[in-house]
Amino acid sequence: MGERLRDRIALVFGAGSAGEGWSNGRAAAVAYAREGARVFALDLDLRSAEETAEIIRGEGNDVSALAADVTDPARMQAVVAEVLAAAGRVDILHNNVGFTRMGGPVEVEFEDWNRLLALNTAGVYLACKHVLPGMVERGRGAVINISSVASVGAGPYPQPLYGAAKAAVNGLTRGLAVRYAPSNVRINAIMPGVMDTPLIHQQIAGNYADREAMMAGRHARVPMGFMGNAWDVANAAVFLASDEARYITGVVLPVDGGLVCTMR
């Protein structure tokens, strides 16, 4: 176990997993704990958050699991208040909730567009709204928002609305980074590329004939020749949350095996 984040309080939204295996949020929560942080693992599905918490407890680290719908303003205010009452502060805010939907404006109904936009952006807005004031007061904090390479290029999947939502996360990250830099609050984003996580089997698999075709096709897209995994994203998040990144803010970091370099 490391000590890069010893005695830090990490609030991780989207810390559960959509299926068996390691999601980006679950891996990030465990990685923060392994570096000494006290973790608050939040997910819409409390059972999934508890599964993450059990992994962390099993390794002898401190964690609490809570449920939260990131699109619910009242619940977001309340859950941040719960964390502040329990821990006194938040040092690391990790916004991981995301959702994709195939199709564009013609295929996707307006209410579904609003839901997609809310899931990808409202949680970032609401978490920052309630966490940033305390970070500013203490003169310290790190926010990590999870975006996607879909925000900077179309790629092979018909998901322009998801790309637009994640582009909004990038813009919010940069704008907030400049505004809060004088308060020593650093705000960065990570753009995962073609990753092997449980979510792809729910949201991407329909674009392929079968699972084998999906895996082979996704590996082939990456210049390095293979998909990344949740730990690649988690390790980047730990770095951005740590003092090693004390002079880094406003960065939208690709974790993608070189994929962004090939996108037009």
Catalytic center residues: 162
113: number of Cβ within 10 Å: 17
Alpha helices in the chain (DSSP H): 24-34, 46-58, 73-87, 110-117, 123-138, 160-180, 200-203, 211-221, 230-241
Q: Which residue has the tokens 């938040």?
A: 90
Cross-strand partners of 233:
none
CA distances from 175 to 133, 169, 187 (A): 16, 10, 9
CA–CA dist 108, 137 (Å, integer): 42
Based on the number of CB atoms within 10 Å of its own CB, is 256 exposed (0-12), middle (13-18) or buried (19 or more)?
A: buried
Based on the number of CB atoms within 10 Å of its own CB, is 214 exposed (0-12), middle (13-18) or buried (19 or more)?
A: middle
Contact status, residue 206 vs residue 102, Cβ threshold 8 Å: yes
CA–CA dist 168, 123 (Å, integer): 12
Strand 92-95 and strand 195-196: the pairing is unpaired
CA–CA dist 112, 115 (Å, integer): 5
